[in-house]
Amino acid sequence: MALLEKIQNKSAKIGVIGLGYVGLPLAVEKAKAGYTVLGFDIQEEKVDKVNKGINYIGDVVTSELEDIVRDGKLSATTDYDRIRECDAIMICVPTPLNKYKQPDLSFVINSTNEVAKRMKKDTLIVLESTTYPGTTEEVMLPILEQNGYKVGEDFFLAFSPERVDPGNLVYKTKNTPKVVGGVTEKCTMHAKSLYERVLNAEVFTVSSPKEAEMSKILENSFRIVNIAFINEMAILAKKMNINIWQVIDAAATKPFGFMPFYPGPGVGGHCIPIDPFYLTYKAREYDYHTRLIELAGEINDYMPDYVVERLMDILNNNKKCLNGAKILMLGVSYKNDIDDLRESPSLKVLEQLESKKANVLIHDPYVKQFKYKDHLYTTIDLTKEILNESDAVIITTGHKKVDYEFVAKNANIVFDTRNATKHIKDKYPQKIILI
């Protein structure tokens, strides 16, 4: 039976390499759609949890995971020899930057090598990991053709960028539109056919993997530039004694030509701080420097320093020194109402505070323990006594679970970098200070 027919009648077995924030939700949706799915990961802990129906990703519904595991529609393994069982393989592995902000494609290359050693003819391979334009055809394709198979005939290769927004209550993997670009028309057709049977959303096709790869970079470059712009406006507004949050709210009343972005202590998550720099790296190959993206990165990277400098000034105005001060940080995850710490600017603020000898306590309702730079941190409960004893409270993540009126009522100083106190700040004008 040909692969396209297997995809259409859902007899195709789907492999998902990488069971993290992208891979596990994708594996779950494919299994819910009726496919038999086999997940691959090098971490035995993740594999064991999946096989026991234990959920570790916030965007996955635990009961749904339990059901599809119990019904045999989803299982996981560390044995990459089982790639031979798969008719289609989705690669959802990390694509980090190194300390020089250069792309690290080692996970993609290693996964592609594992697939190339074992894949059979008539297999679909789709890369979902964010990367620079050209990766699918310039890096993956030569590896996959080493065994003599020809793309578009013996196997099918495409790129479809992940669009995961952890904690989003409206858009999940199932209902978020998908972009697909194949190396050949047949590659695109096979990938599109699979996603159409899994998602309740449009599957939009482009002419090649490069356009699909570039679309993901464009989405997040748009965001990093606009966040940097509003961060710079926040710095300027402070110098001019202007409330930047009121300015944004006022501008947002315009029904066209404006989209609100908000300042903060920096940018976090896997996408915004990382993806645009895949493009800056690739652009140098064409003797072009993406100056706006690089400048945006500099501005956003400066924000944790700016926040700590502001806190030092706030303490100084209250005749206190940061060295030895007891500082309570509210929130350590990179965005509100999730437990995701990837690239969190709160961690950089924490590092800066500790380097200046502050005594830092952390409260985060979503994070009980975390490791950062070889140090294990344990968060604390939020109590009246802790608030009273702290020289300052800094809101670094605006979790909705936190009672900010309780915080403002019992704290000495509240430095709010997220406008989390928007609805109560007028009641405590002497205590609450905005970024």
Label residue 389 exposed, middle or buried (CB < 10 Å: 0-12, 13-18, 19+).
Answer: middle
Nearest one of 151, 131, 103, 183 to 22, comparing CA atoms: 131
Tell me what the mean pLDDT of segment 50-73 comes to. Answer: 94
- Phi, psi torsion values for 163, nearest 5 degrees: -135, 70
Question: Mean pLDDT, the chain, as a whole number?
Answer: 95
Residue 142 has pLDDT above 90, yes or no: yes
What confidence tens digit (pLDDT) does each residue in 378-427 have?
A: 999 999 999 999 999 999 999 999 999 999 999 999 999 999 999 999 99
Distance CA 340, CA 317 (A): 34
Strand partners, 180: 205
pLDDT at 275: 86
Helix (H, G, I), strand (E, B) or coil at 232: helix
What confidence tens digit (pLDDT) does each residue in 3-18 have?
A: 999 999 999 999 999 9
Catalytic residue numbers read 271
pLDDT at 310: 97
pLDDT at 240: 97
- Phi, psi torsion values for 123, nearest 5 degrees: -115, 140
pLDDT at 169: 84
Tell me what the mean pLDDT of segment 274-297 comes to. Answer: 92
pTM: 0.91
- b/e map of 246-275 (b: 16 or more CB within 10 Å)? eebeeeeeeeeeeeebbbbbbbbbbbbbbb
216-222 CB contacts, 8 Å cutoff, 24+ apart: 216/130, 216/161, 216/162, 216/163, 216/179, 216/275, 217/130, 217/132, 217/133, 217/275, 217/276, 217/278, 217/279, 219/163, 220/130, 220/271, 220/272, 220/275, 220/276, 221/275, 221/276, 221/279, 221/290, 221/293
pLDDT at 59: 85
Tell me what the mean pLDDT of segment 336-340 comes to. Answer: 92
Q: What confidence category does residue 99 fall into, taking pLDDT thresholds of 50, 70 and 90?
A: confident
Q: What confidence category does residue 270 fall into, taking pLDDT thresholds of 50, 70 and 90?
A: confident
pLDDT at 420: 97
Tell me what the mean pLDDT of segment 334-347 comes to. Answer: 94
Nearest one of 158, 152, 149 to 91, comparing CA atoms: 158
Residue 1 has pLDDT above 80, yes or no: no
Tell me what the mean pLDDT of segment 363-370 comes to. Answer: 96
Residue 100 has pLDDT above 80, yes or no: no
